[in-house]
A = this chain, B = another copy of it.
Amino acid sequence: MMNKQKNLHALFKPNSIAVLGASRDEKKIGHIVLRNILESGFEGKIFAVNPNAQSVLDIECFSDYVSLPETPDLAVVALPAAVAVSLLESIAQKGTKNIVMFSAGFKEAGLAGAALEADLQAAAKKYDLNILGPNCLGFASTLCNVNATFSQAENRAGNLRFMSQSGALASGIFDWAKQQQIGFSEFITLGNKAVIHENDILEYWLNQKTKNNTEVGLSNYQPIGMYLESISEGAYFLELAKKIAKQHPIFILKPGHSKHAQQAIQSHTGSMAGDDKVQRTAFAEAGILYCEGVEDMFDMAKIFSWENAPRGPRVAIVSNAGGPAVLSTDALEKEGLQLAVLSKKTIAKLEENLPRAANVLNPVDVLGDALSARYHEAIEDVLAEKTVDALLVIVTPQIMTEIEDTAELIGTLSAKYAKPVVCSFMGGSAIEAGEHVLNKYKIPSFRFPERAVKALSVMWHWQQRRHTLSIENTKYTLGLFAKSKIHKIEKIIQTVKTENKVLSLIEAEDVLKVCGIKTPPSEAVRTMSEAWQFGQKHGLPFVLKVSSPMLIHKTEAQAVFTNIYTEADLKKIWARIVATVKKLPKNSDYVVQAQKQIESGLELIAGIKNDANFGNVMMFGAGGILAELIGDSNLVIAPITEKNCVSLLEKSKAFTLLRGFRGHKPYAIKKLVSMLIKFGWLAEAVPYFNEMTINPIIVTATEAWAVDPRFILKQK
């Protein structure tokens, strides 16, 4: 499934670069990128290829790639799509393995472009080329001082690593970073991802020897930011990200495609495990921080570049304004942080150092007329306090406020104490000079205090999460992987008519039985008398169901009839079954199935869908009336392990009921867990299903029954 690992070191740390399409026209990409490479302080050799020019920007031009005096590590191609593809062979023959391709006009530009992209991919495979793009903005690196983009990326060193599928968004990030004085280690734009994918970049970063940050003020991390519109191989992506997330913060901004998700709903599982929810769950499980929007992404980039995560959730606030301090206190609570409780000693120090009217309990109010000296006292007292894990400083621009001096002292004190410090200088023009000073000291500042609190909270939650991340494997201990079982299931599936995407009830029950999942006794019945015989044999009451590929939602379609206790009940119901069957399209397949009715149990739902990005996703929660009322939809993402099944059950609201609620006897939880594990194994071992739903599972005090399975095959 996953590609061979690519060696991208020479691509992103080349010793020599050739620009194909180097142009003398200052507005052309081929000019801009050459200028950027020259101006970025790149120390390797730089070549230019242009058959129509002697030189560009004082760099001698060669008429074609093969004429170059040596083999460049990297070829940067700033030429139209068709030309670019036609040159790949000569680039490869020269021995260059790494290519950055800016050219647009590929997959994104219709059928002809897609064909061109296929040619590009074929060439890449044939010659073993690493191609970044096409249709990308290139990359910039301060590890080897090269700006191989045609954008105004600033050449400021830093610890932030970033990849973006959108070049336009990258331009916005560059502009923002410049203003905020945030430096990058590497910034890579992916474009069409024809050859190099996000996973290649993550592999490269995972294996990268990260040097210690030498610059004062940077955090201990090499944070990774990502803007991705698609993820090619989700399972591997999550595995790589999880490995990274234990060491370095990794955050993602990804559109949710929620509309698309709604269109694709095929079943209950589909609707309860929408794309957006699957995505969020997947990221959360892998320790990837999820950005709700561009603002979140910018805030995370800033705080993780400059601050280490707090050792605990206890935050102190120092403010010259009561209102914003109270708002921040609310925000702390909302975001799962705590207001630090100051010790008596610290309170005494604050009382000594601050005016009588000041509030010396956290949040510390230094009052509106506070000059920088008073901020200094308060901040130092609070940072020295053991019970404080992080500090938020709020400054509102009062007429006497010493904005820049206050920012300076925050910078100095922050360097003295190894605790994260964030600021909110609230206002407009007046506070900008202060923000500039804070940026210089690499103190993350946020225009709104709630944003500062949220950023702190993201750090703290990552800090807690990273230690619990572990790489699971899919080993099942129930001996379920027996090949004979898989063969039996495959045989059942083979009998399903090719035009039917959905297994009949009886076929689905047979699949479950092979897995060792209990289903209530059931039989196909052709007549009323056969039905009554079933009831006599298996006990009353019983259920009759009409099963047909044409019926999707059984209850609504008058296709499930419960509570048949007597022959009179049966007679009434049989008439309704006849009516239901009559309504089916002519020549429809259908079966009338009798099933023993499981009584006095709790209804639950379990489902597994095969997500296009992340593979199998298991959903579990309360069923029946509760499903609609409480929305108890809980997810785990592949690999669906035994451990995952247990935690899925435990995090459901239904678990409260299962354990025995308010004196009720507990239900057969072990049997249920065993069912979920077997169900998970089915999905992992037999990859033919697009969606599988058991709705309901009925759990009694002694047994867990799969009452109504609905299995949808993948499109062939």
CB within 8 Å of B: which residues of A?
27, 32, 104-105, 108-109, 150-152, 164-169, 171-180, 227, 229, 253, 255-259, 292-295, 298, 320-324, 326-327, 329-331, 333-334, 357, 368, 396-400, 426-431, 447-451, 555, 622, 625-626, 628-630, 632, 653, 656-657, 661-662
Contacts and interface: CB of A to CB of B under 8 A. Distances in A.
A596 B557 CA distance: 41
Q: Which of A105, A257, A400, A427 counts the most chain B CB atoms within 10 A?
A: A427
Contacts of A450: 292-295
Contact of A172 (B108, B167, B321, B662): B321
Given A451-B295, A628-B656, A399 B152 contact: yes
A324 B291 CA distance: 13
A268 to B, nearest CB: 14
Contact of A331 (B109, B165, B171, B293): B293
5 contacts: A171-B396, A229-B326, A253-B327, A625-B657, A629-B656
A326 B258 contact: no
A661 B298 CA distance: 47
A84 to B, nearest CB: 16
B628 A629 contact: no
A306 to B, nearest CB: 16
A662 B429 contact: no
Given A151-B399, A294-B449, A427 B629 contact: no
A323 B169 contact: yes
A426 B168 CA distance: 10
A168 to B, nearest CB: 3
A401 to B, nearest CB: 8
B326 A172 contact: no
Given A259-B333, A357-B105, A629-B656, A324 B431 contact: no
Contacts of A662: 555, 625
Nearest to A181: B428
A256 B172 CA distance: 35
Given A168-B321, A294-B449, A327-B255, A151 B108 contact: no
A152 B399 CA distance: 7
Contacts of A229: 323, 326
A321 B630 CA distance: 39
Contacts of A427: 171-176, 179
A405 B331 CA distance: 40
Given A168-B368, A628-B656, A629-B656, A175 B323 contact: no
A431 B294 contact: no
A20 B212 CA distance: 62
Contacts of A175: 397, 426-431
Nearest to A227: B323
Contact of A396 (B172, B330, B653): B172
A357 B109 contact: yes
A456 to B, nearest CB: 15
B396 A168 contact: yes
A427 B153 CA distance: 12
Contacts of A397: 152, 171-172, 175
Contacts of A629: 622, 626, 629-630, 632, 653, 656-657
Question: Which of A164, A169, A258 has most B Cβ within 10 Å?
Answer: A169
Contacts of A259: 329, 333
